[in-house]
Amino acid sequence: GENVEQHPSTLSVQEGDSAVIKCTYSDSASNYFPWYKQELGKRPQLIIDIRSNVGEKKDQRIAVTLNKTAKHFSLHITETQPEDSAVYFCAASKRWSSASKIIFGSGTRLSIRP
């Protein structure tokens, strides 16, 4: 089955600096890669996603890149703000398939230093 690895497990950056979180996946059939932000005790919130036919996607301060050949994808947050502090999860799934269950990475705890 699919296995998603995520690094780093913790990340601390100065407010205003950029943060990068990296993930790899194992199943070459995966075609959909969402990123979630989870605050303590709450449900994961989808913040951005990318499909396998796209190499990069941007939404304001957040961008995601995908390298299908290497099976790598990354989340980039620019101009970080205190409210960006949370746990971020990458994930992979086979969208448009009856097997489209979402498999999560291990998570990155992001802390923004004032």
Binding site for other proteins (CB under 8 A): 1, 41-44, 89, 95-98, 100-107, 109
Three-class secondary structure assignment of 16-78: CCCEEEEEEECCCCCCEEEEEEECCCCCCEEEEEEECCCCEEEECCEEEEEECCCCEEEEEEC
Please give the structure tokens belonging to residue 9: 């497990």
- Report, in Å, the least distance between residue 67 CB and other proteins: 22
- Report, in Å, the least distance between residue 69 CB and other proteins: 25
Nearer to other proteins, 36 or 66 (CB): 36
- Report, in Å, the least distance between residue 45 CB and other proteins: 8
